[in-house]
Amino acid sequence: MSSHRRPGEAGLLPTLRTPLATLSTRTVRTWLDRLDRAGAGRTGPELRAWPRHPYRPRRVPLDVLDEDGAAAEERLVVGRNLSRTGAAVLTDRLLYPGRSCRLALPGPEGRRVRATAQVVRCRYVVGSGTLYDIGVSFAAPIDETLLVPAARPVRLLVLDSDEGLPDLVTRLLSDARVTVYGPDALDADVEAFVRRCPTDLVLLDLEDYTATPLELVAGLRASGFRGMIVGVGVEIPDSLYTALRTAGGDGYLRKPLTRDALRSAVAAAGETPLVSTLAGDARLAPCVDEFVASLPERARLLAQALELGDAELLDALARDLRAEGGSYGFEPITAAATEVQTRIAVRDPEPAVRSATEQLIRLCRRARPATPTDFVAPPDLTD
């Protein structure tokens, strides 16, 4: 292989004359790093409306489509970056702008997001010999957080009598992904706020807040709120914790709040959403959406049965979820419900039953409808 280097570019890679699939991971990563550096700080037409996130799977199936929408050519490309409206990939063959294609984008836990797209850019990677940087625009937005969990913003609402607590939480977390709102962001009531601004975590003062905390928790769950609700307080007796769980709360943090405790709560609230394996079927999407809409209330009833120690009701609720979860493409819910029933049937100790039930509750709250509902940017709450 010959070497193409300009003066002062000792680190430039040699020209490549081999197919992309045979290149080492290290070589591909080096070229991707170079492209990322070259693309940093773009302005004008190159400035994208949605941020791109690093997305580098080595094997992304891409079908080039003919005029009838059928696959005319199959390729394996390398991911480069991704947003909800488009992606960049690396390939070793030219693909002209304007061509339609279909991608099966791989993500965590074996999931794949299928997207139809149009090629909007094809640039030869100077010095590579064989590589092309391809840009595609999706026909419809995707939820990029299903593929890049780190792209998912976490929105945290702090409802506390201490007016300085939201600012303290912001400083303790020091995470660009976390946006913290306080009571001053509420233009109406809490339920209206979480509908206007999808919220992942509510920290709720259990000792001194303008609304009755437990009624607020129950109201949020009744309205379909799927985020985590965590109580905070200096003194939280067992009776209050039981009442909180029965109302639909997820747990509590004792004051003074620590950085580690807050990070743990945020990490739990920012778990990757659970998506149905049937979500890509437009005919079944309404059925999946209806099932998901029922899960907040089911999760609340599970928590209530757990705190009341009602094993018979807990078993019945788990049995229904075991039967329905997999039918609607949520196999992890079926597996977790089966685990709850098994723990009850063999008369496992209460901690084991509680752990299995809490896992089932978390999965119910992570479940996402097949029809995307959150592609709108967060509202500007400063106006």
- DSSP of 336-378, one letter per residue? HHHHHHHHHHTT--HHHHHHHHHHHHHHHHHEE-SS----SPP
Residue 13 has pLDDT above 60, yes or no: no
Q: Which of residues 359 and 9 earns the better pLDDT score?
A: 359
pLDDT bracket for residue 211 (50, 70, 90)? low
Task: Residue 61: name the closest of 51, 71, 70 by CA.
Answer: 71
In a domain, 377, yes or no: no
Q: Are residues 107 and 171 in the same domain?
A: no
94 vs 108, more confident = 94
Cα-Cα end-to-end distance for the chain: 60
Same domain, 54 and 132: yes
Quote the percentage of the chain above a pLDDT of 70.
86
What CATH number does the domain containing 238 carry? Answer: 3.40.50.2300
Same domain as 190, residue 74: no
- Contact (CB, 8 A) for 81 and 88: yes
More confident residue, 22 or 254: 254
- The band of 42, judged by pLDDT with boundaries at 50, 70 and 90, is low
- Are 78 and 165 found together in one domain? no
What's the token pair of residue 135?
């840009």
Whether residue 240 is found in the same domain as residue 315: no
C-alpha torsion 98→100→102→107, nearest 10: 20
- Of 128, 149, 170, the residue that ends a domain is 149
State yes or no: pLDDT of 146 exceeds 60: yes
9 part of a folded domain: no
Report which of 350, 292, 351 is spatially closest to residue 324, judged by C-alpha positions: 292
- At 230 the pLDDT is 92
- Residue 70 shares a structural domain with residue 34: yes
3-state class of 144 per DSSP?
A: helix
Instruction: For residue 101, give the 3-state DSSP assignment.
Output: strand
CB burial string 324-349: b at 16+ within 10 A, e below: bbbebbbebbbebbbbbbebbeeeee
- Given this model, what pLDDT does residue 20 score? 73
Q: Where are the beta strands (DSSP E) in 48-206?
A: 53-54, 60-65, 71-82, 86-91, 100-106, 112-124, 132-138, 154-159, 178-181, 201-205
Domain of residue 164 covers 152-269
Q: Which of 9-13, 74-78, 207-211 has the lowest mean pLDDT?
A: 9-13
Flag whether 6 is in a domain.
no
**Boundary-marking domain end, from 269, 287, 314:** 269
Q: Are 196 and 242 part of one and the same domain?
A: yes
**Mean pLDDT for the stretch of residues 110-128:** 87
| Whether residue 161 is found in the same domain as residue 184 | yes
Q: What is the pLDDT of residue 378?
A: 37
Q: Who has greater pLDDT, 127 or 209? A: 127
Q: Would 282 be classed as within a structural domain?
A: yes
72 lies in some domain: yes
- Short-list 236, 240, 202, 242, CA closest to 221: 202
Mean pLDDT of the chain: 82
Q: Residue 143 domain-assigned?
A: yes
Note whether 27 and 142 are same-domain residues. Answer: yes
3-state secondary structure of 228: strand
CATH number for the domain that contains residue 344:
1.20.120
**108 vs 133: which has the higher pLDDT:** 133
Is residue 7 one of the residues assigned to a domain?
no
Dist. CA 290–CA 276, nearest whole Å: 12
- Same domain membership, residue 250 and residue 216: yes
Is there a single domain that holds both residue 128 and residue 157? no
Q: What is the pLDDT of residue 45?
A: 38
- Whether 193 shows a pLDDT value over 90: the answer reads no
In 3D, which of 356, 360, 313, 372 has the Cα closest to residue 334? 360
Do 349 and 236 reside in the same domain of the chain? no
Q: Which residues fall within 8 angstroms of residue 151, CB to CB, at 6 or more apart?
A: 51, 53, 144, 145
Residue 261 has pLDDT above 50, yes or no: yes
The more confidently predicted of residues 299 and 109 is: 299
Residue 176 inside a domain? The answer is yes
pLDDT digits (tens, 9 = 90+) for 297-355: 898 899 889 888 999 999 999 999 999 999 999 999 999 999 999 999 999 999 999 99
Among 121-130, 201-210, 247-256, top mean pLDDT goes to 247-256
Q: Which residue has the higher pLDDT, 46 or 270?
A: 270
| Residue that finishes a domain, picked among 269, 292, 314 | 269
pLDDT of 329 reads 93
The count of structural domains within the chain is 3
Query: For residue 375, what pLDDT band results from cuts at 50, 70 and 90?
Result: very low
More confident residue, 335 or 1: 335
